[in-house]
Structure 1
């Protein structure tokens, strides 16, 4: 169960099933990672057209989704490399006022 900070009366519930016992800390970690997964899919929808397909057959849908996810992975790796390169050069951060 999760309670909203802004609306204490609003509760969210998670149902978990495992074949072996799992510590509550691990369940909380997995539930918390949900937001990162949702942000990743939102990025893929916006930047690579993950949700812009109009196909009639599974094979065409599968190719479209695979290509979109490959493009999203490429963009994520490229952005990460650029951040590392900028950090090595000592470039000012994007939030600093120059």
Structure 2
């Protein structure tokens, strides 16, 4: 998912898609993790809030110890994992 909306709105959209196991095109895809890169605010002359594009990657692969993936640290990126509580 890529969007120039405010970063928190993009993250909400990504979270909703992941919880419903859907892609940005509304196709079914198992999702348990989100990697989110928020866009920075752009200075504008008219005072309106504008942002660079925010990006999120939806995946079902989890990092160790829960999964087999290796978590890589990426600057300006946040990693979210779906946790189920019984």
Normalized per residue, the structure richer in strand is: 2
After TM superposition, the score normalised by the length of structure 2 is: 0.23
Q: Which has the higher helix share?
A: 1
TM-score normalised by structure 1 residue count: 0.20
Please tell me whether Structure 1 or Structure 2 has the larger radius of gyration of its CA atoms. Answer: 1
